[in-house]
Amino acid sequence: MKTLFASALLALALSTSTVSFAADNKENAEPKSTFQMAVYPVINSMKVSVNVNKPKDSKVDIRLVDEAGQTLTVLKLGKDNESSIIRFDLNNLEDGIYKVEVSDGVKTEVKTVKVQTSTPVEVAHREVSLK
């Protein structure tokens, strides 16, 4: 009888500590974002596309920020838009690192975009002539 009581007490103690451990993880967990985003370059152009998918009743802000932290533009997606594709034209921007920030007010996701001018490579010019 004593071993049965000791086993039950031990099982109760282990399950109580496991439950309290699981509760601690929930308190420290980061909030999940309500949106999904992707940033990718548009082929043969100086543009990037930002795809955002979100629940219908939530709002999302999309920002283009320069290296100094200055916000260059802000687009707000209202509650009616579930999926949007936004294109940023980077032609007029100087070379440097820029960030695309998407935020729902709780969570912010950031993607880095590098604008870089490459120097043209001179190709050897050859010709054939006949006399």
pLDDT tens by residue, 69-123: 999 999 998 888 888 999 999 999 999 999 999 999 899 999 999 998 888 888 7
Domain spans, the chain: 36-115
* Average pLDDT value over all residues in the chain: 80
Select from 58, 49, 56 the least CA-distant residue to 100. 49
Please state, in angstroms and rounded to a whole number, the distance separating the CA atoms of residues 86 and 63.
Answer: 11
Q: Is residue 47 within 8 Å of 92, Cβ to Cβ?
A: no
Please state, in angstroms and rounded to a whole number, the distance separating the CA atoms of residues 24 and 20.
Answer: 6
Given this model, what pLDDT does residue 3 score? 58
pTM of the model as a whole: 0.67
SS3 content of the chain, % helix, strand, coil (to 5): 20, 35, 40
Q: Is the pLDDT confidence value at 14 over 60?
A: no
pLDDT confidence bin for 27, thresholds 50/70/90: low
Please state, in angstroms and rounded to a whole number, the distance separating the CA atoms of residues 83 and 29.
Answer: 27
Q: Which fold has domain 36-115?
A: Immunoglobulin-like (2.60.40)
Please state, in angstroms and rounded to a whole number, the distance separating the CA atoms of residues 1 and 13.
Answer: 19
pLDDT confidence bin for 12, thresholds 50/70/90: very low
Please state, in angstroms and rounded to a whole number, the distance separating the CA atoms of residues 93 and 8.
Answer: 70
Select from 32, 31, 51 the least CA-distant residue to 40. 51
